[in-house]
Amino acid sequence: MKARIRLMIRVVVLIVLAFTVMQCTKSPQRVGVDVSKEKVGGESSKFLSVVGNWVIVDDGGKQVMAVDGRQWQKGQPAGGLAEKAREIYGSRHEEFIDNVKAFAYFPYAVAKEFEDFHDGEISVRFKLVAGQLDQCAGILFNLKPNGDYLAVRFNGKEDNVVLWTFNQGKRSFVKKGSENVPLEMNQWHTLQISVKGTNLQASLNGKHLLDYTLAEPVSGKVGLWSKTDSVSYFDDFTVSK
């Protein structure tokens, strides 16, 4: 009887160990936002356009997200901001709206699919199309109910990747990538960030360019980001956890 019990205990221990190994080694869960079937010329049903003019466009036969800043001179929240803010944060939307207006030079759209991004990776393909003042494309993350957020972006006017923080109506430079990387206009490129605890990394076209230790772990909504008169296309927005 004792031998049988010992055998059963060993079997249970082996099963638990095997399950633990599987959990530790399994591939990250990847969730992509597919806009390929969205209506060209309209807003996306997958993203909430909070600031700026975001529409679905046809790019060589494929539907992609686009931000068009050419008629966006002084900065303005997107149409229906109150309703969109209420959809994101419910009764807490008023403070959110106030901070959005303070950041109105920086268009962004929130991905509806992801309620609260913690540790993981975010990647997006982008194409810089036009822009006299700026040629920007970026990833927005850590978006809070009061409108504060973080953004990692590439600027074609400066050829660099930079981490910015947007806090209580003030934009602050945090850190620039380790080197400048000129990119061709009207070509697709990939921007990726990785977050683990307070450790943030960013890469461009697979090249690791930025490391930074955040003040606190990331927790918030995510999306697409741009600046002033940039005309930029986005595709394959993907979150891995």
pLDDT one-digit tens code per residue, 49-81: 998 899 999 999 999 999 998 865 555 555 565
Q: What percent of the chain has pLDDT over 90?
A: 63
CA distance 68 to 36: 19
Whose tokens are 């741009």? That residue is: 226
Asked if the structure places residue 115 within a domain, the reply is: yes
| pLDDT at position 140 over 90 | yes
Q: Terminal CA-to-CA distance of the chain, rounded, Å? A: 46
CA distance 136 to 156: 6
- The tokens for 130 are 């036009």
By residue range, what is the domain housing residue 51? 30-240
- Structural domains of the chain, count: 1
CA distance 94 to 215: 26
Tell me how many degrees the CA angle 109-148-32 measures, rounded to the nearest 5.
35
Q: Are 232 and 224 in contact (CB under 8 A)?
A: no
Q: What is the pLDDT of residue 105?
A: 80
Asked if the structure places residue 5 within a domain, the reply is: no
Asked if the structure places residue 155 within a domain, the reply is: yes
Segment 152-179 mean pLDDT: 94
Where does the pLDDT of residue 123 fall: very low under 50, low under 70, confident under 90, or very high at 90 and above? very high
Asked if the structure places residue 164 within a domain, the reply is: yes
Q: What is the pLDDT of residue 30?
A: 87
Task: Name the strand (E) or helix (H) holding 10.
Answer: helix 2-25
Mean pLDDT of the chain: 85
DSSP string covering 85-138: HHHHHGGGHHHHHHHHHHTTTS-EEEETT-S-B-SEEEEEEEEEEE-SS--EEE
| pLDDT at position 17 over 80 | no
Where does the pLDDT of residue 24 fall: very low under 50, low under 70, confident under 90, or very high at 90 and above? very low
Asked if the structure places residue 19 within a domain, the reply is: no
| pLDDT at position 175 over 90 | yes
Pick the more confident residue, 193 or 18: 193
Q: Strand pairing partners for 240?
A: 30, 121
Asked if the structure places residue 86 within a domain, the reply is: yes
Give CA torsion, residues 173, 178, 180, 181, to 10 deg.
-120
Q: Are 239 and 222 in contact (CB under 8 A)?
A: yes
Q: What is the pLDDT of residue 233?
A: 98
Segment 29-47 mean pLDDT: 94
Asked if the structure places residue 9 within a domain, the reply is: no
Q: Among 38-42, 76-80, 142-146, 211-215, name the one with the lowest average pLDDT.
A: 76-80
Q: What is the pLDDT of residue 21?
A: 47
Asked if the structure places residue 18 within a domain, the reply is: no
Strand, coil or helix: what is 34? Answer: coil
Question: In this structure, what CATH number is given to the domain that contains residue 204?
Answer: 2.60.120.560
